[in-house]
Structure 1
Amino acid sequence: MSTATNANELKITRVYDAPVRAVWEAWTDPAQVAQWWGPRGFTITTHSKDLRPGGHWSYTMHGPDGTDYENKTLYYEVEECARLVYDHGGNDDRPPLFRVTVLFSESDGKTTMDMTMTLPSPEAAAETAKFIKKAGGNGTWDRLAEYIDKTQSGRESFFITRSFRAPIDVLFAMWTEPGHFSQWLAPAGFTMEFHDADIRPGGSTFYSMTNGQLTMYGRAEYQEIEKPSRIVYTQQFCDEQGNVSRHPLAPVWPETMRTEVLFTSEGPNETRVTVRWEPCGEVKPEEIEVFKQARGGMTQGWTGSFDKLEAKIAGSQE
């Protein structure tokens, strides 16, 4: 979440690679909303929807543990392809949690979604931010990105986004300087070592990750680096000699993965990082299916890495 103007507000900004009409319809069509709304592992059932000022959206969110959450959204403003204002988190027997304002705008075929959640007090905003982070609620907007990617290009991808309290140049360095990269990228419980690192367009790295019982080797080949906004590289698992192999715990995992990292300033001391991860090259249907089913695990893995990155940044600022 980026810094909001007022202390009782929470702000989220996302950019989707699709025209505003496609993003608007993904938001407002119940059949499409059912494909992505909610944290990973959640599904929803819409009971009724009346998209107009004074209208409502009544739905049940089904948690992965079987718990049902009844919700009734009340709409105050509806400007097609431009603006939504509504109350969220309430029902007939409880008041809403906060007021939401969502702005949609298109530029060069891409749509920016600016969302502001307004709460009764700064304390309520802080508690809600903690709750959303713990519940994985920000994954909702990553799921929307994956849905948009699928409907617009037919590709299966994985998205994860996180905002960090540091300038964009600091975040870029964390991804491109091996001494930084190796300290946070490995999943929780693993350490990482670069055996060869040449991070530049056309360059490559060879590295290992270990938790003391399992050691995995991999290589990355860098295709594009645009300082300080974008990095694109491919990754493959390898053996100890650097020969391409398969994931040691998932032999049906795609052989080659493409990673795109976007860095966006959200203020003088805050940066949004968006990771887009997808299989590339020759990919078999069964490998795509394994990739799709692993999104929950990918979220946990990247979240653990991002937690370490957040701690490293905080430690360097002390």
Structure 2
Amino acid sequence: MSQTDELTNRTLTLKRTFSAPIELVWEAWTKPEHIAQWWGPKGMEINVVEHDFRVGGQWKYTMDMPDGNQFVTDGVYSVIVELEKIFSSANFKPMTEGVEIQALFERNGDKTNFTFNCIHATEEYCKQQEQMGFYNGWGSVFDRLETFVSAISQQ
């Protein structure tokens, strides 16, 4: 098996086209006040604890769960190319740890083509995460992002 095949077997990918210019979608990913509006499941309040948007910078967001527990997401930025891509390590405790997330942005006129990759340490872990609801979970988060950027672009 080639390295490319092996990486593909460890990666879950979602693609969307957002009805907003790339600059706005980029801001939604890079400004803490915007992240707090869409990151996470519908109905959950997101607290941006840390957001050091630079290569090597850390980020940490929390959500209070209905059962009183706290859901913590954190990571470290490894690649940032303005209006093009953001790569980061990521933990979504207590469900997912030790993954890399990649947000890829592409201008499409007044819209934005977006690709989200989540790379897991092993193929088995990747399959487990898919079965746990990766596509529905992240799909709903990106629905919120679409609603957020569409509303702002119409202002």
How high is the TM-score relative to the length of structure 2? 0.85
> Hey, which bits of structure 1, 4+ residues long, moved more than 4 A?
none
Q: What does residue 45 of structure 1 align with? A: 47
User: Map of 1:98-137 to 2, 5 A cutoff?
Assistant: 98-133=99-134, 136-137=137-138
Shift of 1:32: 0.8
Q: Which runs of 5+ in 1 are unaligned?
A: 155-318
CA contact (8 A) 1:75 1:84 kept: yes
Task: Describe the shift of the 1:64–1:139 C-alpha distance in structure 2 as closer, same or farther (beyond 3 A).
Answer: farther
Query: Residue 67 of structure 1 corresponds to which residue in structure 2?
Result: 69
Structure 2 match to 1:32: 34
Name 1:147's counterpart in structure 2.
148
Structure-to-structure mapping, 1:1-318, within 5 angstroms: 6-89=8-91, 96-133=97-134, 136-153=137-154
2:3 equivalent in structure 1: none
User: Which structure is higher in helix share?
Assistant: 2
Contact kept in structure 2, 1:40 and 1:136, CA below 8 Å:
no
Gaps of 5+ in 2: 1-6
Q: Could you tell me how far apart the structure 1 residues matched to 2:83 and 2:135 are? A: 31
CA contact (8 A) 1:39 1:138 kept: no
Identical aligned pairs, as a percentage? 28
Give SS of 1:21's match.
helix
In the TM superposition, residue 70 of structure 1 has moved relative to its aligned partner by 2.1
Is the contact between residue 105 and residue 112 of structure 2 (CA under 8 Å) also seen in structure 1? yes
Deviations 1:9-67 (A, max 9, x none): 10010100111100000111111111111112222111121111100112212234443
Q: Deviations over 1:111-156 (max 9, x none)?
A: 01111111112211111112234973320000001111211125xx
| Rg larger in structure | 1
Paired positions, count: 148
Displacement of 1:90? 6.0
Which range is displaced more, 63-72 or 27-36?
A: 63-72
Q: In 1, Cα distance between the equivalents of 2:120 and 2:78?
A: 16
3-state SS, counterpart of residue 112 of structure 1 = strand
Contact kept? 2:103, 2:115, Cα under 8 Å? yes
CA deviations over 1:226-264 (Å, ceiling 9, x no partner): xxxxxxxxxxxxxxxxxxxxxxxxxxxxxxxxxxxxxxx
Report the Cα offset of residue 97 of structure 1: 2.9
Give the distance between the partners of 2:114 and 2:136, measured in 1 at CA.
21
Q: Is the 8 A contact 1:41 1:63 kept in 2?
A: no
> RMSD in angstroms over aligned alpha carbons?
2.3
**Shift in alpha-carbon separation, 1:37–1:70, aligned structure 2, 3 A:** same
Any conservation in 2 of the 1:87–1:96 contact (CA below 8 Å)?
no
TM-score when normalising by structure 1: 0.43
